[in-house]
Amino acid sequence: MLVIDKQVCAFPHRFVDLLMNLRLPLLALAIAAPVCATATTTQRLTIVNNGETVGSVVATVDGSHTGVDYAVSNNGRGPKHHEDVILNEHDLPISWTVQGTSLMGGDVAEAFHWSDGHATWISQAEQGESDGASPLLYVLNDTSPWAYGVYARALLRAPNQTLKTTPSGVMHLEKLQTVDLDPAGCKLRLDVYAIGGIDTKPLYVLLDRQGQLEASVDSQGTAIKAGCEAAARPIDELVANLEDLRLRHLREKLAHTYDKPVRISNVHVFDPGTGNVGPLQTVITFNHRITFVGDAPDKQGPADDEVVYDGEGGVLVPGLHDMHSHTTSDSGLNYIAAGVTSTRDMGNVNSFLLKLIPRIDSGELVGPRITPNGFMEGRSPYSARNGFIPATVEEAVKDVDWYADRGYFQIKIYNSMNPDWVAPIAAEAHHRGMRVTGHIPAFDSPDRAIRDGYDEITHINQLALGWVLKPGEDTRTTLRLTALARLADLDLDAPQVRATIELMMSRHIAHDPTMSIVERLLVSRAAQTPEPEAPVIDHMPITYSRYRKRTFVPSPTPELTAQYSAAVKKCLDIIKVLYDRGIRLLPGTDDTNGFSLHRELELYVKAGIPPAQVLRLATLGPEEYMGKSHQLGSIERGKLADFFLIAEDPTKDISAIRSPRLVMKGGVVFFPSEIYEAIGVRPFTTSPPQITRGAKEVAH
């Protein structure tokens, strides 16, 4: 919807104030001031997530200057900031500022400025400057759908639709198709583009025939021209189909499939049952399964019809299991490259997940084995927009049946659920043979949730905050993160702590700590490489690497920073207490990549759990919990061929799992170095193991 206004020409005061506060040079007035007496246009976009409105973009264009207000509210959080951008005659930004708050409420004060051949910028990630006769395309750290339109228009005017970017990298644009949409009388004819080069997956934008942004899709949802919200669903389907095509092509390129036995010789095998790494052995697989583990079964060497890999003295580890994933279309590549061959999805758009799982299982797409959990949320201003949001308890019980009919493993209850509904939901789930897990609903407590039917509690903060919250405090907000500062002074021998742990022990309650995401949120600080990201960040594209260098918590004072650091240490102490008391730990990440699971396991070792036992928690343990240990979790004859090869012994250094050289899932071979190169990540290993015989593959 376009609205035409008349506006007196004036340089935007908050834009000037921000530049002054950041001590950056102002533009010359001839460049910076908007053209007087021009009409302004206001473009409005609506952010839609899973069929519900969760935010908006309002952009006011006045000549070369645009002011943008962007706000998202979903799951009690979301970015909220104002942008000012000035473009030159080539549609390249010569000044761009962002001020407000990011996803979890951390402060944002970002600015880019170019004048007379000199560029300066400051963001949460870094501060820098460079010289050049013309400006390079600046990549925002705290971005918005409007920024995607800025990128696209600049790329449309560039040679080969490719531009170097600041602070680094190269961005390119590819037109994919033109579509006509007519939702509820809102006719749209749009050109669909993919922006690549700055992340591990393309960014999809839809422009009108004049090159103006009409829609885009990112992790916050689908941004769509106001008044055309009904187009969000067909746009989601369109982008899903485009991603599907891209991912199928990658599968054809990256999956190495053989119709003959695959022999991996000269390897040690980690046994999670004993915690030992065995002597040099041979492992043979055929038709998805392991057919042999032991000394070489023949004296004459491999048969002529086998494919042989030389493991070069490395260690084979059963495939890792992320017990707290939120699957995306492209997360499968990231997981497989990291040796994660199984995940438990803890909340998603139901239609998306039900379509994706069979396509991964059939081998059409690359990805781990996914066990789905049914997400159930209550209705409130802070609701997450996944799964079901029932209006009544009777509707909630029917939703449980919907999940049970489709074979879901568990019900996951979320923040806004009415605490009084937990017991009937849990009763129906148990009646249908399902377990119950989740957050502790706001104004509830871990002890009551357990008594009402929880079999498991997810997130270390959801467990521990029950010991420090005050009556009436609302964990539907980011308080569920910031209140962790109170853990710094928590006595783990306090009566309320002992009572909960004893209740968990008596009822065999499991715990999924997701410690890696809690650590990241609490210790990350602007312009610093946080410890959990250090092994990864320099390998990643610019969007990933810059986003990780930020302050997630709001306004951390020196006192709060010390409390957050102490809270991380206390959380590790809690994990060790739970382990020592025999409570089952389920390593999960609340993320979409294997890097975070690697960190999760490192943190358990840091807490004091032996590396071999940590590996058991991430391999055989989840399969025992879900009744699949007869198929998965260890490298034994007859089990599914899910494992990965690393160079060093992970029972001596758990971080050895960060560098798989080969990953096998269901007998299909993947080389992480190939996957990473295909998605724009610098590989963590130099080369895959050598094939010594029978390299011919089955055509896809």
One-character DSSP codes across 623-676: HHHTT-TTTSSS--TTSB--EEEESS-TTT-GGGGG--SEEEETTEEE-HHHHH
Confidence band, pLDDT 50/70/90 cuts, at residue 1: very low
**Is the confidence at residue 10, as pLDDT, over 50?**
no
pLDDT digits (tens, 9 = 90+) for 163-183: 999 999 999 999 999 999 998
On whether the CB atoms of residues 285 and 275 are closer than 8 A, the answer is no
Tokens of 237: 């389907």
Instruction: Give me the half-sphere count of Cα atoms (radius 13 Å) on the Cβ side of residue 431.
Output: 10
Superfamily of domain 256-319+633-700: Urease, subunit C, domain 1 (2.30.40.10)
Mean pLDDT of 549-557: 87
Estimate to the nearest angstrom the gap between the alpha carbon of 270 and the chain centroid.
29
CA end-to-end span of the chain, whole Å? Answer: 46
Least confident residue range of 87-96, 552-561, 645-654 = 552-561
- Outline where 268-381 has alpha helix (H): 331-337, 350-361
**Is the confidence at residue 8, as pLDDT, over 80?**
no
Residues 670, 256: Cα–Cα separation, whole Å: 6
Residue type, 659: S
Q: What does DSSP say about strands 643-646 and 410-413: parallel, antiparallel, or unpaired?
A: unpaired
Mean pLDDT of 70-91: 96
Exposed e or buried b per residue across 631-641, where buried means at least 16 C-beta atoms within 10 angstroms of its C-beta: ebbbbeeebbb
**Is the confidence at residue 603, as pLDDT, over 90?**
yes
Residues 529, 522: Cα–Cα separation, whole Å: 13
Give the three-state DSSP class for 692: strand
pLDDT digits (tens, 9 = 90+) for 254-297: 999 999 999 999 999 999 999 999 999 999 999 999 999 999 87
Give, in words, the CATH class of 320-330+339-626: alpha beta
Tokens of 67: 């002011």
Estimate to the nearest angstrom the gap between the alpha carbon of 342 and the chain centroid.
16
**Is the confidence at residue 685, as pLDDT, over 50?**
yes
Residues 112, 93: Cα–Cα separation, whole Å: 8
Instruction: Give me the half-sphere count of Cα atoms (radius 13 Å) on the Cβ side of residue 273.
Output: 10
Mean pLDDT of 449-461: 98
Mean pLDDT of 235-248: 95
The per-residue pLDDT for 490 is 97
**Is the confidence at residue 24, as pLDDT, over 70?**
no
**Is the confidence at residue 322, as pLDDT, over 50?**
yes
**Is the confidence at residue 33, as pLDDT, over 80?**
no
Domain limits, the chain = 2-253, 256-319+633-700, 320-330+339-626
- Angle (CA) 46-347-440 rounded to 5° is 105
On whether the CB atoms of residues 354 and 370 are closer than 8 A, the answer is no
Residue with tokens 């160079």: 647
On whether the CB atoms of residues 117 and 132 are closer than 8 A, the answer is yes
User: How many other CB atoms are there within 10 angstroms of residue 28's CB atom?
Assistant: 10
Tokens of 416: 């806004």
Residue with tokens 């997810």: 458
Tokens of 454: 């929880």
Confidence band, pLDDT 50/70/90 cuts, at residue 299: low
**Is the confidence at residue 616, as pLDDT, over 50?**
yes
Tokens of 512: 């999924």
Mean pLDDT of 104-119: 95
The per-residue pLDDT for 12 is 47
Residue type, 79: P
**Is the confidence at residue 541, as pLDDT, over 70?**
yes
The mean predicted confidence, pLDDT, of the chain is 92
The per-residue pLDDT for 38 is 61
**Is the confidence at residue 23, as pLDDT, over 60?**
no
Give strand pairing partners of 4: 41
On whether the CB atoms of residues 412 and 453 are closer than 8 A, the answer is no
Confidence band, pLDDT 50/70/90 cuts, at residue 526: confident
The per-residue pLDDT for 34 is 42
**Is the confidence at residue 80, as pLDDT, over 90?**
yes
**Is the confidence at residue 25, as pLDDT, over 60?**
no
From residue 660, how far is each of 203, 251, 395, 432, 671 by CA, in Å? 28, 19, 46, 39, 8
From residue 691, how far is each of 254, 309, 619 by CA, in Å? 16, 5, 27
**Is the confidence at residue 37, as pLDDT, over 90?**
no
| Percent above pLDDT 90 for the chain | 86
Give strand pairing partners of 49: 52
Residue type, 287: N
DSSP 420: G
pTM beyond 0.75, yes or no: yes
Beta strands per DSSP E along 415-464: 435-438, 456-458
Estimate to the nearest angstrom the gap between the alpha carbon of 266 and the chain centroid.
36
From residue 548, how far is each of 95, 106, 527, 680 by CA, in Å? 24, 13, 9, 17
**Is the confidence at residue 28, as pLDDT, over 80?**
no
Least confident residue range of 18-22, 361-365, 582-586 = 18-22
**Is the confidence at residue 11, as pLDDT, over 80?**
no
Mean pLDDT of 218-234: 95
